[in-house]
Amino acid sequence: MALIGVFDSGVGGLSIWREIVRQLPHCDTFYVADQAHVPYGPRPLMEVRRFAEGIARFLIDEGAQVVVLACNTASAAALHYLRATFPQIPFVGMEPAVKPAAQNTRTGVVGVIATPATFQGELFASLLERFANNVTVLTRACPGWVEAVEAGALDTPETEALVRSCLEPLLEAGIDELVLGCTHYPFLRTAIERVVGPDIEVIDPAPAVARQTGRVLAARGIVPSSRHVGRHRFATTGDPARFRSMVRRLVGVEAEVEPLAWTSEGCLLVRGA
Residues annotated as catalytic are 71, 182
Strand stretches in the chain, DSSP E? 3-8, 28-33, 66-69, 91-92, 109-114, 136-141, 177-180, 201-203, 232-236, 257-262, 268-270
Backbone angles phi, psi at 168, to 5 degrees: -60, -40
Query: Which helix (H) or strand (E) element contains residue 122?
Result: helix 122-131
- In SS3 terms, 4-20 reads as EEEEECCCCCHHHHHHH
Nearest to 100 by CA among 178, 18, 48, 27: 178
Backbone angles phi, psi at 28, to 5 degrees: -85, 155
Strands 257-262 and 268-270: antiparallel
**DSSP at 38:** -
